Amino acid sequence: MTQQSISAADASDTPLPKNREISGTKVVIGMLALGVFATGLLFLYFELHTRPFRPLREALGREFKHSRPNVEGGRLKGRGPMILRISMSVPFDPFVEETKAAERNSQVLEIAKKYHDLQTFEQVQVNLIYFLPEATAKRRTFDWKSKQLTE
């Protein structure tokens, strides 16, 4: 057998590759469907994660204008104590003006008591953040055990 006849025989035995082209329309529709699904999933997560704390967040925003409050609750990564974490910006340095910081902390705790039973949390954390222009923000954290807040 010659070289030509061997290669012709091999070519006839190998299967032809299947045409696996996907139309551009299907790709675009798939990408849009994935985007809608991902957006819906993020919305659902955000809604379920923040809904219980939204009234407290709104009350803090009404009481302290321009404070950008953020309220979170639960266990960190599913482990550890139940924590109610309240973070907000303040227009003063909480390390320099300690009396103002302590006063703001007690005001925040009083508002939190109106919206949540603090006994359901093992720890309450209030973060006062002072943003400096073009510098690292200063954060002062007040940690309270729920037993301390009822005494």
Better-predicted residue by pLDDT, 151 or 82:
82
Residue 21 — pLDDT band, cuts 50, 70, 90? confident
Predicted confidence (pLDDT) per residue in 58-86, tens digit = 999 999 999 999 998 888 777 888 889 99
The structure's pTM equals 0.71
Place of tokens 């910081």: 101
Better-predicted residue by pLDDT, 132 or 36:
36
> In angstroms, rounded to a whole number, what is the distance separating the alpha carbons of residues 29 and 6?
47
Cβ atoms of residues 138 and 95 within 8 Å: yes
pLDDT of res. 2: 52
Sign, CA dihedral 140-145-149-151, equals negative
pLDDT of res. 131: 92
Cβ atoms of residues 129 and 85 within 8 Å: no
User: Which residues are CB-contacts of 115 (< 8 A; sequence separation ≥ 6)?
Assistant: 55, 56, 59
> In angstroms, rounded to a whole number, what is the distance separating the alpha carbons of residues 93 and 78?
33
Give me the chain's average pLDDT, please: 86
pLDDT of res. 119: 85
Q: What angle do CA 19, 25, 28 make, to 5 degrees?
A: 115
pLDDT of res. 99: 93
pLDDT of res. 49: 83
pLDDT of res. 78: 75
Task: Output the DSSP codes for 105-128.
Answer: HHHHHHHHHHHS-GGG-SEEEEEE
Residue 91 — pLDDT band, cuts 50, 70, 90? very high
Residue 43 — pLDDT band, cuts 50, 70, 90? very high
Looking at residue 94, what DSSP letter applies? T
Average pLDDT over residues 83-104: 93
Predicted confidence (pLDDT) per residue in 114-150, tens digit = 998 888 888 999 999 999 888 899 999 999 887 776 6
